Structure 1
Amino acid sequence: MRRFFIMGLTTLLLSSCDDMNHQPRYDSYERSPLFADGKALQAPPAGTLARDDVLNGEALANRPTMSPELLQRGQVEFGIYCTPCHDAAGYGNGTVPARGFPHPPSFHIDRLRSAPSRYFVEVISNGHGVMYAYADRISPQDRWAVAAYIRALQFSQNADPAALPPQDRARIEKARS
């Protein structure tokens, strides 16, 4: 009986705490001592992506021209966001699936080799299966860069070594032995 009394008293005391309903807050254009400029309303940090931004929609609609810079940017973004699950070569054997998360599909299966580049951009934007959307993390231009880099990965895994310059073939042969 005493235990029920203590539990009831504890519940009563905890429910009487009403701090959550009376927290200090600021209206948008009110002055605030929290920030150096004295304003409560702050500009979003550089690189913040608005989901409904018209410019982002245009950037998604227009595929950029292929260039070494685009591939390099795609490689950087792929390394940051995709490698943990898809691994560096795109086979779906990253560190996250190695710890029990479902394996993503390999980029080297026929279905994804024949998929248009826009498919990868849409998956990055909206997510697919257990992969969540990266629209708030990766800019539209960088989504196209990642799609271009995925295409380069796909090509690299089935490229004919005879098409390479002799010095690159020698490096490959040296690495194999």
Structure 2
Amino acid sequence: MGTLTVITGPSGVGKGTLVQRLLARNPSIWVSVSATTRAPREGEREGESYFFHSRERFDALVQEGGLLEWAEFAGNCYGTPRAPVEQQLQAGRPVLLEIELEGARQVRRSFSKARQIFLAPPSFEELERRIRGRGTDSEDAIQQRLLRAREELSAQGEFDAVVVNDDLDQALLKLEGLMGLG
């Protein structure tokens, strides 16, 4: 049986960048591709970045039990398809979920042995700078993300470990150590 690691943290903290670096150094890790109702961003590809679904299709997956976890965030839904995760764990592979706080809480109830890691910014101001620097969100969406980030940051104590992403290389080393890869 493989091991399941959950990484969460506020939008803009660098989860995606850190996971890309982790995978480049540890290709045996299988990362779940999430389903979402949001529109693709430039460069994102169906089945690689996300599975992009209509709200109706997403709701059907929820009703069918086809998602391990799901949450609504900033007006869009995100979720983890259940079957591929279970297949990879059965095959003995390390599985990584990069998901939002509510999803992490749902996974904790389903997989109590999962490693739960919270990725935190060095400061709230730095987090805001990163979110604004993306240039992809309206001011309303930015404010929603920042409000949500404050709530998420207050939940750090729920996790097995907290990794502060102030230096990408150091954060990567700490993450690898927590996952037993170092």
TM-score (norm 2): 0.24
TM-score (norm 1): 0.24
Identify the structure with the greater strand proportion: 2
Identify the structure with the greater helix proportion: 1
* Larger Rg, first or second structure (1 or 2): 1
RCO comparison, higher one (Cα < 8 Å, 6+):
2
